[in-house]
Structure 1
Amino acid sequence: MRQIVLDTETTGLDWRTGDRVIEIGCVELVNRSLTGRHFHVYINPDRGIDAEAVAVHGITEEFLADKPRFAGIVEAFEDFVRDAELVIHNANFDVGFLNCELGLLGRPKLDVLCAGVIDTLRMAKEQNPGKKASLDALCDRYEIDNGHRTLHGALLDAELLAEVYLAMTRGQESLMIALDEPAPGQVETDGLPVMRVGVKVVRATEAECEAHAANLADIAKANKGLCLWIPPEPEAVAA
């Protein structure tokens, strides 16, 4: 099982209004182990960067002036993530931006390029409803050292997210997002339908089933048979 933990930094918050990707960071997991392989690039967006965004990631137009355009790194990016399952925090954001960049070049989007995507933000909210689910909050919850994270950075955040994801899913099967058409009840993430599959089922042993049946019998006896799991006698229904 090959997974790519991915993060991006951008010029602003919305690709629909012309914001662009300026940094991509990826680390590779194979069978839930970090391999040491990573992909990291800075990208010249050919446009300005919002002051609010600079305050978050510290990347300036001057720094990016001599960096390649997305067209110059797209093949290397595709080669690194191809056929892998992506692990992204707030996947809707990164998937939207990357699909926009790929679309501008007429390249296949992530639903064609990759095997699926796991949204760790969605997963964290499902596991701990009402609790903070930012990357920093999850690092605190799972006791992952992020003291060196003074600014957002795509590669650093991908490395931290890999540790968070492994802690969140320890002892579990992977939560997949299928890239097929969504079934009823599924939620879409910018074209990537979310589906939880592969949950491990642990069946009760024969001894456990017998103990359960005995416990139910004791409860039924104490309640004189007035239990929801015991159907009424036929004559009672007729009456």
Structure 2
Amino acid sequence: AYVRGLKARGGVVRTATPARSIKRNGPVWRVDDVATDLVVDAAGAWADAVAARAGVPGIGLQPYRRTIAIARVPDRARLRGAMVCEVDEQFYYKVEGGDLLLSLAEETPVEPGDARPDELDVALALERVEEATGLGLRSIRTSWAGLRSFVPDRRPVVGTWPDHPGFAFVAGQGGSGIETAPALSAFAAAVLTGSPLPADVPVDPDDLAPGRG
């Protein structure tokens, strides 16, 4: 829906097109062959790397790896629908079809890159969830990993550095990117274009600006 809306407004989506050159010339930024007065760095775990390519200070973003797996459940009749998070965040699990999705809820600092599941984390998550549930979990159907990126205060970053107008960050959503995207996007659009802030996003722009106190 978002892509359709963008295209309906004349936007263009370029895939497999790395930004090799990002340079500022007065009020205009040039990203390869595109000239614009506003660059939005929404590159996730790579946001600081993109900023460095543009000669802009980073925001102190740290990616963390989290591994998730799907475990086979021998007796599916015993499954219940609730999601369960261990009180000290040592693991969580929830029903996924007839199987069980589980994770250690770990945050392992890593460099930006294609995250790979850690076999030890998968095994430990399986052990902890089996100990808690007694479901007879013994094998994994599949596993994957993703990156959750935070700045030190663990709040998103929206805005520009004062000395680098026209280069804006929208980054640092941690593990809540999908859930927060509609509200944060509306908020960011207002902040970056100088439009009125959305009434249903009661956030002070200074609280999410780069370099906030």
TM range (shorter): under 0.3
Q: Give the structure with the larger strand fraction.
A: 2
TM norm structure 2: 0.23
Larger radius of gyration: 1
